[in-house]
Every structure is written in structure tokens, then in C-alpha cells.
Amino acid sequence: MSNQTMESTRCDGSSSKSSAAILLADSFREQGLVALGECGCEIVMDPSLKDGALVEAIAATNPDILVVRSTKVTSEMMCASERLSLIVRAGAGYDTIDISAASKRGIFVANCPNKNSIAVAELAWSLILSCDRKVPDQVIDLRNGSWNKKAYSKASGLHGRTLGVIGLGGIGKEVISRGKAFGMNIVGWSRSLTDEVAVELGINRCDTLLNLAKMSDVVTVHVASTPETEHIIDATFLDAMQEGATLINTSRGKVIDEQALLQAVKEKNLCVGLDVYQNEPSAGDASFSPEIVGQSCVYGTHHVGASTEQAQDAIAMEAVRIIKSYITSGEVPNSVNRAKSTPAKAILSIRHLNLPGVLAHIFELISRTGINVEEMENVIYEGSEAACARIQLGELLTQEQIEKIRGNDNVLSVTVSTINT
């Protein structure tokens, strides 16, 4: 393992022990490394770490924070460090991280959304143009000494044709703006798309995926990999597509049923551009030859949608922002595994003097009730003399239990409100 531990230097320039130990298991931009070093973080970086080697590295370094790009993070890796409390995915998708395992161990997982939107949209358009003009084939023929203008003078063209966009997050919106520049008619679908938003985007809303498939000359997919989106492009969708239409996927391999796609390519003369695949290698270099990429009308790239210098600089600095926030305030921007709701039934609001032992006494009283604390925050007022604790409880307290809390001389007031579920 290559150890690139940077000398710990705080932002004020004074030397000190690091405020957090960070393991970078993938490459990371230099400006991001410098920014983390300026915050006094102790950094170990080794982009070669994968699988068992990463488990060993986590056990050896016992980091507070793990940063990854495409590297898979498993439950075994999380269990290798008792200190690990934050995993940062330096990118948007986080399907390579075992979110369930992280949540069970109380480890935050955060991502860096919308920082690579332009880069992925640019690659999607390079694939669209490749499908229309057969650019890769033309290059290969020229390199082989073959001139075939007649065969390559049959492009359909894009102006005036219909572009169907599935998924209207940051990437989808960037694809739309470029589609307008090409003069295409654009239809879109997402579960959350409304007519009002469609009007704002300057597109037409499709009420179903099948309608989008039927209407579109070019379909491009930009959805996250979730259980709901697995094989969202299936045999039924592909059968609804127009003969000779184009399909682009720069999102995740699992969103397309690859066997159904292979059949559709053979039967419907579809032209396909792929940057992602169902069982693509996790390593940067590997043998890989799925049947789909061997088809003459399929153009594939190597899951490099986000791999531009511009995108990686932006992602690195977003990762730095997340880490800085966490080590200075405990807040985790872009957390993907914080519960959207809790089983709490009541909020206990306690204004109290900001003195040692006050909260300890309150929590001791709550503990005796057998009621669980679901979430809490303690806000300090200007001057640091008083504070307000807002405690979400799994059950309502009795009036007698509330009066015991009020009985603390350092408690200024106690109010209880119910949570409507």
C-alpha cells in the first residue's frame, strides 16, 4: 500500500495532530488533497486498494473517513474499523456501497451529486452522434486503409427528430439543453415529472415509459440504480421502440435487461451506445467481453462518463466540503442514508441553562421511562448561557414524567407536541 500521508497542517497554518484520519481508496485530485491537508487531516491514499486488500488497509489505518469513487464498499470493510463513521462517494451514484450495512453500523454515507452532470451529458451526446454518423466505424475503416463514402452517407440526422429523456435530474437536464441546440423535439419521463415542470424545461411530458419508447427516435437513460429502476428498460420497453431507433445508457448497467437488449438489437435493428454494463469490472484494467458489445451497431465506452478533469475537480472539492463540514460541525451534507422519518410520536422541547449535567439528568429521567430517544438536537443561544434541547421520543411521556423533568432547577421550560404520522 502506497502511503501518501500528508503532513498535518491546520487551516491557520499551525502544525498539530490531524483532526481526522482519511483513507482514499481511489485516485483523488491534487487540489482536493491540498485542501484536506490544510484542514489538518491525516491522509493515506492508495488507488489500487480493492476487495481483501481494502479490508486489510482499513484495519491497518483505522480511518474515520473512507473516500471512494468506483470501488465497492462491503459490510466486511466497514467492520474492519471501529472508528469509521463516514463514507464519501466521490461521484453521484452510490450503488457500489452497501447502504444497509452502513446504516446498521451507524456510518454516514454521502455522495457528490450534480458535479459530473455536464461531463456525463457530453458523453451521452458523443454516443448519440456516434450512433447517427457511425463515427467509430469510419475511423476504423480509415485506419485500415478503406475509403467508403457511399456506405457512410446514410445518416438519419438529428434535427427535427424526437429525443426521449428518461430521468430528469442534473444529467437529464444537461442532455435536454443540448438536445434543444440540435433542434430536436424532446419528450421526458420521470416518476416526479409534472406538467408544470415539463413546461419549465421546455419539453413534453410522457405519462408512461411505453409512450416515450413509441414516440422517440433516440432514447437516453439517466436514472439512479435502485431496486425500482432495475431493468426499467426491459423487453416490453424495447419492443415498443421504433425500428432502427437509438438507445443510450450512461447511468448504470442494471437499469437495462442486457439479454433483452441483445435480442432487440438483432431483431429491431436498434443502434445502441453504452457507457455502463450489467457485470462490468470493478478494477480499472480487466478482461471484459460481454456479447452485447460485439454487435456491429453497438458502441461502447469504458464507464468514463464522469471522467473529465473538470468533473473530477468539482467532485473532489465537493468531497472536501462534505468532510470539512463533518469534522467541524458533525453535519453531513448530501447524506443518502439518514432516515427521512423516524418512529417518533412526540417532540420534547426543553429550554435549559447551559450547564454541565443538565442534559445528563434529563436523559436519565427519560431512560427510566423505557421510552426510546429517536433523534435530538441541542441548540445554544447567543452568549452560551441557555440552550434548547429538542428530543424526539418513541412514545408520549406521562404528565408525571414531564413534571419530574420540570423539577430540575436548571430547566426553564418543558413543552411536548405530538407528531402526526
pLDDT for 195-218, tens place per residue?
A: 999 999 999 999 999 999 999 999
Query: Within this chain, do residues 97 and 123 fall inside the same structural domain, yes or no?
Result: no
Do 230 and 285 belong to one domain? yes
Query: What 8-state DSSP symbol labels residue 322?
Result: H
Judge whether residue 16 has pLDDT over 60.
no
Task: Classify residue 14: in a domain, yes or no.
Answer: no
Question: Where among 295, 329, 363 does a domain terminate?
Answer: 329
My answer on whether 249 and 138 are in the same domain is: yes
The model's pTM is 0.74
Q: What is the pLDDT of residue 257?
A: 96
Express each pLDDT in 20-39 by its tens digit: 999 999 989 999 999 998 88
What CATH number does the domain containing 370 carry? 3.30.70.260
Kindly tell me the burial class for residue 182, based on how many C-beta atoms sit within 10 Å of its own C-beta (0-12, 13-18, 19 or more): middle
Q: Is residue 1 pLDDT above 80, yes or no?
A: no
Query: Where are the alpha helices (H) located in 185-335, listed in sequence order?
Result: 195-201, 209-215, 235-240, 258-268, 309-329
Q: What CA–CA distance (Å, rounded) separates 129 from 135?
A: 8
Q: What is the pLDDT of residue 286?
A: 84
Residue 15 lies in a domain: no
Task: Identify the pLDDT of residue 11.
Answer: 35
Residues 101 and 46 in one domain: yes
**pLDDT value at position 15?**
38
Q: Which domain holds residue 366?
A: 346-418
H or E, element range at 139: helix 135-143
Residues 359 and 292 in one domain: no
Q: What is the pLDDT of residues 283-308, one digit of tens each?
A: 678 888 889 999 999 999 999 998 89
In a domain, 148, yes or no: yes
Same-domain pairing of 144 and 289:
yes
In the chain, the percentage of residues whose pLDDT exceeds 90 is: 83
In this structure, the answer to whether residues 134 and 255 fall within a common structural domain is yes
pLDDT for the residue numbered 172: 96
Catalytic residue numbers read: 252, 280, 303
Residue 374 lies in a domain: yes
Q: What is the CATH number of the domain that holds 206?
A: 3.40.50.720
Residue 247 and residue 160 in one domain: yes
Least confident of 11-25, 241-255, 354-368: 11-25
Binned at pLDDT 50, 70 and 90, residue 421 comes out as low
Same domain membership, residue 297 and residue 151 = yes
- Per-residue confidence (pLDDT) for residue 3, from 0 to 100: 37
- Asked, for residue 208, whether it belongs to a domain, the answer is yes
Query: Tens of pLDDT along 221-280?
Result: 999 888 999 999 999 999 999 999 999 999 999 999 999 999 999 999 999 999 999 988
Q: How many domains are contained in the chain? A: 3
Q: What are the start-end ranges of the E strands in 250-385?
A: 271-274, 298-300, 346-353, 373-380
Q: Are 124 and 217 in the same domain? A: yes
Reported as a single tens digit per residue, the pLDDT across 75-131 is 999 999 999 999 999 988 898 999 999 999 999 999 999 899 999 999 999 999 999
Classify residue 65: in a domain, yes or no. Answer: yes
Q: 211 with 68, same domain?
A: no
Identify whether 223 is part of a domain.
Answer: yes
* Same domain assignment for residues 219 and 126: yes
Confirm whether 32 is domain-assigned. yes
| 189, three cell numbers | 419521463
